[in-house]
Amino acid sequence: MSGWRCAGLTFRYPESSRPAVLDLSLEIPAGTTTAVLGPNGSGKSTLLRLLLRILPPSAGTVEFGGTPVARWGRDALARAVGVVPQGEESVFPISVRELVGMGRYPHLGAWRREGDADRRAVEEAMRRCDVADLAARPVPTLSGGERQRARVARALAQQAPTLALDEPTASLDVAHEMAIFELLRDLGHAGKTVLLVTHNLNLAARYADRLVLLDGGRVAAEGTPREVLTRETVERVYGWPVEIVPHPGPGPDTGAPQVVPLAGEQCVRMAHGEGRSHAA
């Protein structure tokens, strides 16, 4: 199993006046499910791209599996990490089955044909992501949620020991969003290293082992869900009044902290620094 470690990580986009990630040091332990959270523009997706060597840092170091990520060959990294990007366009009119089958490319190379093991991996991934009945559909004809499930299936078909996912449940309905989070939790419990970026604080708290909360390109808090999702921290990072309540259960996530944003004129004033209200 492999995890990430970065130290002093900094990156600024050429057109930006401030760094997207600034002097960030962090460890993503192997064999855990870690969710990266934060407001829009906090550096979540940029951090993921730096960890995957898609972007080169302007300062600092990134290691994966104890080796500088820059020393990993792209083929070796592709076999080690299955990636679900936040969004991508289909250049060619391929079917869902062909898209999911692309997850086997790191193992097959450009010329080898699929064998029985490859076909089983693809079929199992499509089943687990509920896209088996869409196998023959052209990807451009899918809804946004269906496409996202097919991308997750492609990463599963890769059978990599590590998964890195950027907003994997974007555009999904409640049932499929829950199914993906439960799948990721199960994969983590089975020994995979799972790293996901998400805006969903409450599902992250219920299904991830560890949370990393970013603010302005820095780590605002990290640790267990109960350590990270405190009222004071969430209000400071998101600039909005909240209450933190335990998940009622039943199930293994009973007691997980859940963020309830408050509403009303007094709460709006509090969000701008004019005092706290307990009225929801």
Residue 39 clears pLDDT 90, i.e. is over it: yes
Give me the pLDDT at residue 274, please: 59
Give me the pLDDT at residue 280, please: 36
**CATH 3.40.50.300 domain residues, the chain:** 4-224
Give me the pLDDT at residue 277, please: 45
**Which candidate, 215, 213, 267, 259, places its Cα nearest to that of 241?**
267
Q: State the average pLDDT for the chain.
A: 91
**Chain segment 184-200, per-residue pLDDT in tens:** 999 999 899 999 999 99
**Chain segment 62-106, per-residue pLDDT in tens:** 999 999 999 999 889 989 999 998 877 666 789 999 999 999 988
Residue 1 clears pLDDT 80, i.e. is over it: no
Residue 266 clears pLDDT 60, i.e. is over it: no
Superfamily of 4-224 according to CATH:
P-loop containing nucleotide triphosphate hydrolases (3.40.50.300)
The least confident of 40-44, 127-131, 141-145, 246-250 is: 141-145
8 Å CB contact between 167 and 197 = yes
- Main-chain phi, psi angles of 244, to 5 degrees: -110, 120
Task: Report the share of the chain in percent with pLDDT over 70.
Answer: 91
What whole-number distance in Å separates Cα of residue 159 and Cα of residue 168?
Answer: 17
Residue 110 clears pLDDT 80, i.e. is over it: no
Mean pLDDT of the 197-222 span: 97
Cα of first residue to Cα of last residue in the chain, in angstroms, is 45
Half-sphere exposure of 151 (CA within 13 A, CB side): 26
The more confidently predicted of residues 265 and 42 is: 42
Give me the pLDDT at residue 265, please: 61
Give me the pLDDT at residue 272, please: 60
Q: Where are the beta strands (DSSP E) in the chain?
A: 4-11, 21-28, 33-37, 59-64, 67-68, 81-84, 162-166, 193-197, 210-215, 218-223, 242-246, 257-261
